[in-house]
């Protein structure tokens, strides 16, 4: 099971959701799909419907920049971060 770390601004949209959890999946895409099954609507917050990651989100797998297609191992750490934006 990989470890997933989520940003505070994302979990705030889904009451009761922890920022750190263990997840199953062999790619970032599978992990996002798994989240969606547990928390309907969360996939649309992370990726454009039917598409790639939202432009101002960054995903790292084991500290390396990642995309939805990036493989995830059983001991991986997957981090979703917010790009600095706004005002």
Partner 1 sequence: MTRRLMVLLGTKKGAFLLDVAPERRADPGAWRLRGPFCEAWPLNHLVFDPATGAIHGAGGNPWFGPAVWRSDDLGGTWSHASEGLTFGEGEPAVTNVWRVTPAHGALYAGVEPAGLFRSTDGGRSWSHVAGLRAHPSRPGWMEGAGGLICHTILAHPNDPLRMWVAISAAGCFATEDGGLTWEARNRGVAADFLPDPDPETGQCVHRIAHAAGDPERLWQQNHCGVYRSDDAGRSWVRLDAPLPSEFGFAIVAHPRDRDAAFTIPLKDPDQGRFMPDARMAVWATGDGGSTWEARRTGLPQENAYLSVLRGAFASDPLTPFGLYAGTSSGALFASADEGGTWTRIIDLLPPIHSVETALVDA
Smallest gap from Cβ 74 to partner 1, in A, equals: 29
- The DSSP secondary structure of the chain, one letter per residue, reads -EEEE--HHHHTTSTT--SEEEE--SBHHHHHHHHHHHSTTHHHHHB-TTSSB-TTEEEEETTEEE-TT-B--TT-EEEEEEPS---
Q: Which is nearer to partner 1, 10 or 31 (CB)?
A: 10
Smallest gap from Cβ 3 to partner 1, in A, equals: 21
**Contact residues: partner 1, CB under 8 A:** 7, 9-10, 12-13, 41, 44-46, 48-51, 54, 56-57, 82-83, 85-86
Q: Which is nearer to partner 1, 1 or 83 (CB)?
A: 83
């Amino acid at each position: 099971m990989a470890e997933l770390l989520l940003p505070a601004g994302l979990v705030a949209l889904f009451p009761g959701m922890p920022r750190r959890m263990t997840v199953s999946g062999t790619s970032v895409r599978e992990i996002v799909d798994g989240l969606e099954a547990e928390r309907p609507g969360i996939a649309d917050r992370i990726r454009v419907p039917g598409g790639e990651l939202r432009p101002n989100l960054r995903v790292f797998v084991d500290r390396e920049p990642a995309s939805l297609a990036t493989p995830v191992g059983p001991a991986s750490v997957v981090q979703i971060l917010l790009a600095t934006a706004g005002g």
